[in-house]
Amino acid sequence: MAEKYIMIHDIMSEHRERMLNLKKFYPFFVLCDTAFSQYKEGKYADLDMGYITMATLRFLINENSFHEREVTYDQYEVFLLEILRRDFALKEQPEEEKELAGYIFDKIKNDGKAFAFPYFDPEEKKKKTARVKLIDSRIADGVVLYHVTAEGIEFYLDTKEIKEESNISVNQLLLEKMIRSENFSGGIDVVRRINNEVGRLILKKKEVLDLLRYDVFAGAKACREYMDTVGGWFDEEQRLFEKNRKLIDKAFQKANAAWKETGKDQGDSAMLSRIHSLDTELKRTITRHGELIRETIELQRVADEMIAGAKLRRLRPVFHFRDALQKIMEQDCPEQMGRIVAPLLMPRLSKSFAVESIDRMLESRPDTRDYHEKREKKELQSYVFADEIEDQRIALNYGRLFGELLEQLWKHGRTTLRELTAIYEIKFGREIYRNGDLYSFLVHLSQKDSYDLKQLKGRQDTFLEGLVMQQLSVEKQAQYGDMAFEIHFLPGQAIHLLEKNKDAPSITDMEFVKK
């Protein structure tokens, strides 16, 4: 009985989400069913509206994303007529071709209206309508400009992965539209999709490297294909990552200003939280993308070394008649047998040893001179001791923890230790609570009740200040400027990090306030 109840609950609760996911496919099938059945008494029934629709979306994605420009109707008409003439052998008068192109375009954009997709909501017990557009437009300087919508891009990506261009770049176009429309929850899903794509490319790089170890020549071919399809788009992807980061920063500033004006409204607070989650996911993806770039460069270096070694091994000092015969049989070219037989039919050259050479050997005197051994002076090797490695790790961890604190103060103006440790958990994982550097950092940080970056640039009084100023980059120091903050201890509030019970070790909460 309980299993049946769970099943019915799943059907009802998931139905709305499933219908909204299906709505992006609805316009495609509507266009395929009703496109040319009533037009000109079926004169153009041989035209495939599904193919034309997919070609239109691909054209708009290419112009909007990779060339960063919107399209006029005249530009689209040239593209559409080229397809109709090439793929469907369309031969009509220019007036009829223009009329047909206008009819097709009106159908795809549904005369400027959204496609209405009706469905039943079992939770609210009523019918609802979901609306979806594939193409949208705007007017600029008296000219109508067209662009593909987020639903159109999502539909195109779900039908098949784009092979010619970077899938990461196309997903970032979708992310840009999500940010501009303030759909930050959907943006988080898109960023996770990008992160999965980066992980897939990293695994593919490992597969290419394994193939190189097994078959160097097949691996070389796979490496070239990988570099052509993946490495060629790194600059474009980095540029789009930077563009979306700036859009997120602008959205955060706008939402933060609205939150202050409305008296810290709950809705604006939830939007700030979604923007911060999106920013965190994008930072994580950018970090993984940087790792992909470094590993791809390393793959190219390793591939070059392995290919060069294989070429040297193939320069054999002997001739293998069996291998040569096998190659001739595979190529089915008996004429090449002449190369093998010709050296065997050459005249035999007689070899002799002159008697005068014996006299010269007997009369020659041995060299009795002394030769000194040359010894090269070896340079002293530098060693890195275990305590130096520990110091480097501590400095790096302190810099990351302090930098995240400065970023939260720069964005929000204040934060608490409870909120800060939650940010650490999101960014570094829950294992941060078992890292001793976190607690030693908090101990060093609590030695002073205020910090001023302007003073720290000139003089560092404590061990912590010296380490974090070494780790903060010039860009970070310029970004945070002369920021100063105070630390207020909250003795009545305790934080249990490792275990959620009162008997576990606790830390006194602290409040960090930007001056």
The answer to whether 307 and 220 are in contact (CB under 8 A) is yes
CA angle 422, 428, 432 (to 5 degrees): 75
Chain centroid to Cα 59, Å, comes to 23
Percent of the chain with pLDDT over 70: 80
The answer to whether 155 and 167 are in contact (CB under 8 A) is no
Residue 270 structure tokens: 């939830």
Band (455; pLDDT cuts 50, 70, 90): confident
pLDDT of residue 163: 46
Measure the CA–CA gap between 508 and 506, rounded to whole angstroms. 7
pLDDT of residue 231: 63
Residue 289 has pLDDT above 80, yes or no: no
Q: State the DSSP code for 232.
A: G
For the segment 111-126, the average pLDDT, to the nearest whole number, is: 83
pLDDT of residue 318: 56
Band (164; pLDDT cuts 50, 70, 90): very low
Measure the CA–CA gap between 363 and 348, rounded to whole angstroms. 34
Chain centroid to Cα 451, Å, comes to 37
Residue scoring higher pLDDT (270 or 267) = 270
Residue scoring higher pLDDT (4 or 18) = 18
Per DSSP, the residues of 293-335 read HHHHHHHHHHHHHHHHHHHHHHS-SS--HHHHHHHHHHHT-GG
Residue scoring higher pLDDT (151 or 447) = 447
Measure the CA–CA gap between 275 and 215, rounded to whole angstroms. 47
For the segment 257-262, the average pLDDT, to the nearest whole number, is: 71
Residue scoring higher pLDDT (318 or 6) = 6
For the segment 424-442, the average pLDDT, to the nearest whole number, is: 84
pLDDT of residue 317: 53
Residue 109 has pLDDT above 50, yes or no: yes
Mean pLDDT (the chain) is: 77
Residue 172 has pLDDT above 70, yes or no: no
Lowest mean per-residue pLDDT among 101-115, 197-211, 431-445: 197-211
For the segment 112-125, the average pLDDT, to the nearest whole number, is: 83
Q: State the DSSP code for 164.
A: S
Query: Dihedral (C-alpha) 285, 209, 223, 159: value to the nearest 10 degrees?
Result: -50
Strand partners, 145: 138
pLDDT digits (tens, 9 = 90+) for 180-236: 766 677 777 777 777 777 777 777 777 777 777 777 777 777 777 777 766 666 666
Residue 246 structure tokens: 């700036």
Tokens 């305590």 locate to 387
Domain segments of the chain as ranges: 1-160, 162-315, 388-514
For the segment 236-265, the average pLDDT, to the nearest whole number, is: 72
